[in-house]
Chains A and B, each alone.
Chain A
């Protein structure tokens, strides 16, 4: 038996997560309207918004028992999270749809799922998800000043330049410090060096590490 398109396992990996298995069993009893309402709420949750109210409304207006509804929502959330994690260069729309067909998800629902993962909201969802990732603080604002000390209490004529920097970081911390001219040169040199290495790295990694 020849397969025209040789595919390894689903984008979900070798073992389908249990909540997704459970969701696919339960989706048969959900009409398209209800599905769309749930999908909208799940996307909102992925975006980082609070959707407890919306979920409550859905639960109250539905005939589906709460427990099953819970499985459906969990499954949909997990499915979309996993799909968004993978860059579009690796997971193409057709492959995604194929994987969902293998889970026996109705075609209409597959189209809706697909439009979330490959539609124009994708970038915003990715950004919202990455907010939770661990990272060190980044620079939110950097202000600077170049001063020349003309005279001080110790020296009538000092004529010494210095750089004053004020750095506000993304974690809210604030640092104001002086950079002696020699250290400034060192900082500038090192930043240029890292940039050069980054460029080299980007050129190399594209060639070596295969997706």
Chain B
């Protein structure tokens, strides 16, 4: 298969820096990066942490940035193409990454890769996602316009959340028996469609 990492100038430069890093420190670095890879728009390391890293790895700010970005890039490519850990190691060695460092990548990928893949599969563009389903079944006895009702009425609570917010918005919908039956029939049709996909 085509190589997922092409040996560009910046890759060459990054490789030089990476090869110089102590392998244990590097291993911890990669673990941390892979944990946060699925979060869009979030910094992996805070300002403070980055400064500490600069000292710990003996890299200046620019060099550290290059190393972090390159490492993230390699992992993103691995996810995107869903490469096998062994193939990843080979390809990294092909761009002159030391085998101990290449092994760190392929080992992290083997361990944390599947979970990362699952998380990314569930990232979507939809404005809101249904996160919570709650309900209440009532027996309505009367209302202003009608006495002695005894009519069952269900209230559905749908908790919707925007991807980029922690706040859940609640939508309350009321159904009588007929309306609920109509909803159920629609859901059955959707289920039919989902079943036909597998």
| B130 touching A179, Cβ below 8 Å | yes
Residue B6 interfacial (CB < 8 Å): no
Q: Is B152 positioned at the interface, with any CB of A under 8 Å from its CB?
A: yes
Q: Identify whether the interface residues of B are mostly helix, strand, loop, or mixed.
A: mixed
Q: Indicate whether B175 reaches chain A with its CB closer than 8 angstroms.
A: yes
- Evaluate contact between B131 and A152: CB separation under 8 angstroms: no
The residues of A that contact B167 with a CB separation of less than 8 Å are none
Q: Give how many A-B residue pairs fall within 8 Å (CB-CB).
A: 164
Tell me, yes or no, whether B172 is within 8 Å of chain A by CB.
yes
Give the dominant DSSP class at A's interface.
Answer: mixed
Given A126-B145, A188-B187: 20 more A-B contacts, CB < 8 Å: A85-B146, A85-B147, A126-B146, A130-B143, A133-B146, A135-B174, A139-B173, A139-B175, A146-B194, A154-B79, A155-B80, A160-B122, A175-B128, A178-B129, A180-B122, A190-B135, A191-B156, A191-B183, A197-B137, A202-B152
Task: Decide if B9 is an interface residue (CB 8 Å cutoff).
Answer: no
CB neighbours (8 Å) of A186 from chain B are: 133
Q: How far is the CA of A149 from the CA of B126 in the complex (A)?
A: 12
A21 to chain B, nearest CB (A): 21
B80/A201 in contact, CB under 8 A = no
Partner of B145, one of A130, A138, A184: A130
- The CA of A206 and the CA of B149, in the complex, are separated in Å by 11
Q: Using CB atoms and an 8 Å cutoff, list the residues of chain A in contact with chain B.
A: 84-87, 90, 126, 129-130, 132-139, 142, 144, 146, 148-149, 152, 154-158, 160-165, 167, 169, 173, 175-181, 183-184, 186-188, 190-192, 194-195, 197-198, 201-202, 205-206, 209, 211
Interface hub of B82, B126, B155 (most chain A Cβ within 10 A):
B126
Number of interface residues, chain B, beta carbon within 8 A: 54
The reply to whether B147 and A87 contact each other, CB–CB distance below 8 Å, is yes
Among A137, A180, A181, A191, contact of B174 (Cβ-Cβ < 8 Å)? A137
Q: Does B130 contact A187, Cβ atoms closer than 8 Å? A: yes
Nearest B residue to A142 via CB reads B186
